[in-house]
Amino acid sequence: MLAGIDRVRGSNTCRILCYVMIIGSSSWNVIDPPPHIPVSLIYTNYRRIKEQVTVDYLELRSVVSGVSEQRELDLCGKVREHFVPCYNVSANLLAGFKEGHEFDRHCELSGEAERCLVRPPKEYRIPLSWPTGKDIIWSGNVKISKGQFMSSGTMTKRLMLLEENQIAFHSEDGLIYDGVKDYSHQLAEMIGLGSDTEFPQAGVRTILDINCGFGSFGAHLASLKIMAVCIAAYETTGSQCGVIWDEKDGMFLIEVDRVLKPGGYFVLTSPTSRPQGTQQDDTFIWQKTGDVACYASRKKYAIPLCKEGDDAESYYKPLVSCISGTSSKRWIAIQNRSSGSELSSAELETNGKCCLYMLSGVQPEEFFEDLQFWRYAVKNYWSLLTPLIFSDHPKRPGDEDPLPPFNMIRNVMDMSAKYGGLNTTLLEENKSVWVMNVVPAKTSNLLPLILDRGFTGVMHDWCEPFPTYPRTYDLLHANGLLSHVASESCSLINLFLEMDRILRPEGWVILSDNVGAIEMARTLAAQVRWEARLIDLQNGSDQRLLVCQKPFLKK
């Protein structure tokens, strides 16, 4: 099904001529798709006619503009090594934001930033492969000094050792009684479980780790096959921030209730002063009711319920002082949900009807056909993640060549996740990955379905920067995203710059789209200095893959 073409080199004219010659060549090697997967099932129903018109227009414009637009972009200055757009606390304070709003997302203050490539710090090194990278990170990859390390929380200091060029977290064998493993076991006992290994059986499959420090708890949860998402204020010295939960008339607690599934748990651990002048962490746990009928018996002056439909779309909306979700068809206690990532037909129908822009539920046939496609596609994807495809050697990876190891990549982002099929298949193939599923804004909102499968995910408008640190991901995948972004009249070069910012050096990008969008992507890949290969899908469609690798640039 897959075959390689030339690197992105030379002028537009030369590249287009070479492209036409290769298309017409009978010697071009391709592999047909398996006969049991109909062509119509591959990349269906996501491109509209107006998107194609936009893509064709932009493609022609890029060809007419000539070589001048292909100039490689320069590297940004040192000040932007840890740059997170839209989260500039200093600028927010100068703009008058205060009382916690300075930590909010304010993209309107960013303006038209300089188009440049965010470079890694001088001492940056490629992260160690998982699971070694769970316990050891290079100190040059993060902005933390010995003084900042020593001033961190007591638990953090006990779990970290700062050496000359690395930060080493204690292994489980070295944890003391109140370490992460024992803390996790304590939480399990407090909710009536015998061990933290029973979390998944009790319906606990995804955890939002608020004020997550340096991620030690999330790393432990990974060993239990529980997906954790770290959330905190953006700081260059690590994800440390405190939340005063009773501020703003309890608005933060109301937001916790909104994102918490019925039957889920809110765990609050905070330091408490003792008479002897010492501090000790105290833990409290609340459980959200699984019985929606109990809200009818609330006290007279209790927090009101949100109106039906108020929580249908929650992309960067202001906090609301009402309890949401009580009228949702998705009100199912976590203890009563399907285990694993498979959903029943009834759950698929419920998710489809609750999702914005969808007139009917998700059809089980379409859902499982999509999964079948990804089970085939991932096998091909994995064989492409090797520098061999970027060499000048004509040989392609074959059966005699070893595939990349299961732990070659760890942090994966599916930029247009749809049903989460890529996530499902990577886990089925026992790849050692953590996947962030992104549902593009202004498309069918399938995020509830992804979350109900036990995966992590967010909604995001790709016309804006993504809220994460530079060099977060090892692999970015996007199926049909370029056509969508172009149809929204957003800047594709800004999208590629943002992808480059959140991708680590030597990380990978896999783009799947129509011919016009992929040809544009080749030009943009050259501007951000990625190595790129075009892959043909011999399935009778105009779909193509562009596989790219980001180089390790130093200045």
The model's pLDDT over 78-127, given as tens digits with 9 standing for 90+, comes to 988 988 888 888 888 888 988 778 888 888 777 667 899 999 999 899 99
User: Does residue 470 have a cis bond before it (omega within 30 degrees)?
Assistant: no
C-alpha angle 360-482-27 in degrees, rounded to nearest 5:
110
Inter-residue contact 526 to 117 (CB < 8 Å): no
Q: Which of 215, 123, 114, 195 is nearest to 166 (CA)?
A: 123
Point out the least confidently predicted range of 17-31, 299-313, 315-329. Answer: 17-31
Point out the least confidently predicted range of 51-60, 154-163, 198-207, 290-299. Answer: 51-60
Q: What is the pLDDT of residue 36?
A: 43
Sign (positive/negative) of CA torsion 423, 424, 425, 430?
Answer: positive
Phi, psi (rounded to 5 degrees) for 239: -85, 75
Q: What is the CA radius of gyration of the chain?
A: 25
d(CA 383, CA 378): 9
Indicate the pTM of the whole model: 0.79
Q: Which of 207, 189, 211, 188 is nearest to 199 (CA)?
A: 188
Q: Is the pLDDT of residue 49 over 50?
A: no
> What's the Cα-to-Cα distance from 7 to each of 71, 523, 529, rounded to whole Å?
16, 11, 12
Q: What is the pLDDT of residue 357?
A: 35
Inter-residue contact 548 to 525 (CB < 8 Å): yes
| pLDDT tens-digit readout, 236-273 | 444 457 788 888 888 999 999 999 999 999 999 987 76
d(CA 93, CA 343): 46
List b or e across 326-358, with b for residues whose CB sees 16 or more CB atoms inside 10 angstroms: bebebebbbeebeeebebeeebbbbbbebbbee
**Letter for the amino acid at 215?**
G
